[in-house]
Structures are given as structure tokens and as C-alpha cells.
Structure 1
Amino acid sequence: MHGPVSAAWLLVALCVATGAYCLLRMRSGVEEQRRAAGGEALMGFGMAVMAVPAAVFTPPGWAWPVYAAVFGAAALRTLWAARSSPHHLHHLVGTAAMVYMAASMAASPPAAHHAHGGSGVPLLTGALLVYFTGYVLLSGARLVPAAGTGVATARWGDRPELARACRLSMGIAMVAMLLTM
């Protein structure tokens, strides 16, 4: 990830915490929640790995195509699941964005991973930024009224306001990562 190292570490911490909570959500009694939480955990941990500052660790050249393949497989799985629920369309956009970022990193020379420049924002990056910015604003607006309605006896995996907060966190992280491309 480009940008300040301290911001990158904060992004890594946010994504790891989100991924860890999504793993807890996989213990839910509702199958749909478990399935969604698994995909969200993959996204959280994948985003954390991608956000590690390049000054600390630069993945080998073969890692980016593998990364793109993993998220490509997740995108295909999500595409299949989207037949039954429109909620999966957001996950499809997220996994496709991860494939796009990994492919961009694979296509750029290693020196480009450490320097800014170029001829502006590519069209797909801009479209993803618009989508995820809108998603963050909408998710944040939906989360505010729900913040005080949590049931204290609900299990950690079944708390809808925490699931929404995780999705909001990942949306914010995606915006940050797209801004640094």
C-alpha cells in the first residue's frame, strides 16, 4: 500500500480486527449469517495483507496473481450466491475490487509499488471509489439508528449492528486502499 506507514498500519489493524470478528460471527446459528461472515472474514484478512506497508514487506512477484486467483474464486462463489440474495452483489463488487487491485499490483513494476505518479485515476478505480464511498455513507447512515437498539442477550455472532459496523469498516478500508492506488 502507498501512503503514510502509520495510516497503513491502522488500516491493517482495522482489517484484522474486522476479519477476527467475522470469524466469531461464523458461529452464528443462522446459516446465511455464517456464510456471509466467512466471505467477510476472507475480505478482512485479505485486505489486511494487502495493506501491509511496502516498506515493511514487499510480496514476491508470484504472490499477486495468486492473490487475484483466490479472490477471483471468491468472486465466482459470490456470483453463484447472488442468484438468491441481492446482498451478495455488494460482496461481488468487493471481491472484484480485490481482484482488480491484485491484478494492478501484478501488472505494475515493483518500483511503481513505492512511488506515486501516473496520469490520473483510471476509470475503474474511480468507479469503485464512487461505489464504495456511497456504500460507506449509506452504511454509516443505517448504523446510527441501530446503535442503540442492540439486544444485550444476543450472541456475538448474531448482533446485526456489529455485522453492519464490520461491513462499514471494510468499506472504509476499501476506499482508503483505492485512494492509494
Structure 2
Amino acid sequence: MHGPASSGWLLVALCAVTGVYCLLRMRSSAEEQRSSAGGEALMGFGMAAMAVPAAVFTPPSWTWPAYATVFGAAALRALWAARSGAHHLHHLVGAGAMVYMSVAMAGAPAHLHGEGRSGIPLLTGALLLYFAAYVLLTGVRLVPVAAVPGNGGGGGPAGWGDRPELARACRLSMGISMVAMLLTL
């Protein structure tokens, strides 16, 4: 996950901005926006932290098990929440992918990070296929929504947290970021 510095910093910035927007969505008046925003903020900030270029900061060895623990807990929460909606299954796969990447990075020597020599190729490939399909599907769903003016349902202009097209754009950016991170695993 620690590839070239310039692309690593772009990934950090994209994931951090996405995490910030998801925190803003947690204040939305629409329950559907708030329901998954916390998990998405955690994913955004976690992905940003994992994408910091190794040339700038090499995390201590305890970092990877800590990531695995945090995202393992997020996966359990997503599994529990999946009883009410299919989107939580995506959160389960995302949190599971973060656990997998954390475990793979913990087992890889520091000089191999970002060189594609860690992880299980079959599992990495399956996750890549899933997230590539998710990115394509989310991109297709985003196209018609972007043409509709935002409306929070109350007749007035929608707040930042109530814009479904922005939420989809954030999910799309996190999906693209996950593909990029898995490619360097």
C-alpha cells in the first residue's frame, strides 16, 4: 500500500477528504444519510492512514494489528447491521478487506511494502474484482443522480449532508482508493 510518494499523497488526500465529508453526513437530517456515514468515515480515515507513503513515515509494528482490530470490530458491526440493508454487506466486505490488508502488511518486511509481494494472490484478486465491479456500478448509478438538483425533501436547498449524489461520489472515491490499495498489496 506504500507505493510511489506522489500517488500515495493523492490517495491520502482523497481518502481524508472523503472521511471528512462522511463526518459531515453524520449530522444530516436524513436518517438514510446518517446510518452508514460513521462506518464510511472510519474507512476513509483508515485508508488515508494506511496510504501514507513509507518514505515519509514507516508505522511501528504494532500499527498493523491495531488496524486489524479496529476494522475487525467494524466488520462485526457491519455484519450486525446487514440484517437491515444490503449496503451494510458492502461495509462488511470493505472492513474485511482492510483487515486482510493490515494482516498482509504486518507479515511483510518493510522494504517490500508497495511492491505487490504480500497477501494471498487469489484473495487479493477476488477483492480487486469485487471493488472494480463496485466502482463501475457506483459510477453508473452516479450519472443520472448528478443531473438532478439536490433537494433535502423539504422544498428548500439540500444541506451538504443530505446530497445523495455527493454520498455516492464519496463511495465511488473510496472504491477507487480500495482498488489502488489492493493493486499495491
Length-normalised TM-score, structure 2:
0.92
Q: Between the two proteins, what is the percent identity of the paired residues?
A: 74
Alpha-carbon contact 2:19-2:40 (below 8 Å) kept = yes
Measured against aligned partners, the alpha-carbon deviations of 1:14-46 in whole angstroms (never above 9, x if no partner) come to 001100000110001233421300100000000
In the alignment, does 2:133 pair up with 1:134?
A: yes
- Structure 1 residue 4 displacement after superposition: 1.7
Corresponding residue number in structure 2 for 1:157: 161
Corresponding residue number in structure 1 for 2:154: none
The aligned runs of 1:161-172 (5 Å cut-off) are 161-172=165-176
Cα distance change of structure 1 residues 166 and 118 upon mapping to structure 2, 3 Å threshold: closer
- Structure 1 residue 118 displacement after superposition: 4.0
Alpha-carbon contact 1:15-1:48 (below 8 Å) kept = yes
- Structure 1 residue 175 displacement after superposition: 0.3
SS of the residue 2:57 aligns to? coil
For the residues of structure 1 that align with 2:116 and 2:91, how far apart are their CA atoms?
30
In the alignment, does 2:80 pair up with 1:94?
A: no
Segments of 5+ residues of structure 2 without an aligned counterpart are 152-156
The aligned runs of 1:76-91 (5 Å cut-off) are 76-91=76-91
Length-normalised TM-score, structure 1:
0.94
- Structure 1 residue 71 displacement after superposition: 0.2
Measured against aligned partners, the alpha-carbon deviations of 1:158-181 in whole angstroms (never above 9, x if no partner) come to 110000000000000000000001
Segments of 5+ residues of structure 1 without an aligned counterpart are none
Look up the equivalent residue of 2:177 and give its one-letter code: A
Aligned length: 180
